[in-house]
Amino acid sequence: MSEVDTTDTPAEASEPRVELRHGVPVTESHGQEVLHPARGEYVGLVERLRSEGYWVAVDLCGVDHLTNPGRRGLPAGVEPERFEVVVNLLDHRNRRRTRIRLQVPEDDAVVPSLFEVHPGLEASERETHDLLGIVFSGHPDLSRILLPDDWVGHPLRKDESVGRIPVQFKDPTASGGARP
């Protein structure tokens, strides 16, 4: 099902060819196909995969690569960004899994929502927004899901200060309970 980019100009002749699927660069990780779309290709790619049988979106999460700028696993031509949205899709009928790794720049951390294609990702997109600050445009409700509404910042960002959550202890005798 994969196609290989056959564009060969003299300047590019020495560069490795990039394998493509639906026009998107493909790599392999631990026996699993990994697709690397640009933001403009993201929703269309997921729609095409759904029409091929990838009916289940297993999960969606965000990654902050602030301390890992030289990470491996990206194909030639895909520039690493600080943030990444990772989606895992499952095709039960053909027993296939496919992962999507979408690079998201720090200065424009906005990606289209997959809610219309996979409504079950609604909470995962909210959680990623809440904890990392990635905005999912077109999402029906990007309100906080894990943190209080008045929380400032996004605690899973690697530049967020550590230990800012105040620990509150209750005196067990204050509620009439006996001390152990």
Calculate mean pLDDT across residues 34-52.
98
Model confidence at 70, pLDDT cuts 50, 70, 90, reads: confident
Model confidence at 171, pLDDT cuts 50, 70, 90, reads: low
Phi and psi at 44, nearest 5°, equal -60, -40
Residue with the bigger pLDDT between 102 and 163: it is 102
CB 111 within 8 A of CB 136: yes
Calculate mean pLDDT across residues 148-176.
75
Instruction: Copy the structure tokens of residue 117.
Output: 């294609």
Domains annotated on the chain, with CATH? 15-180 (3.30.460.80)
Q: What kind and span of H or E run contains 16?
A: none
**pTM for the full predicted model:** 0.81
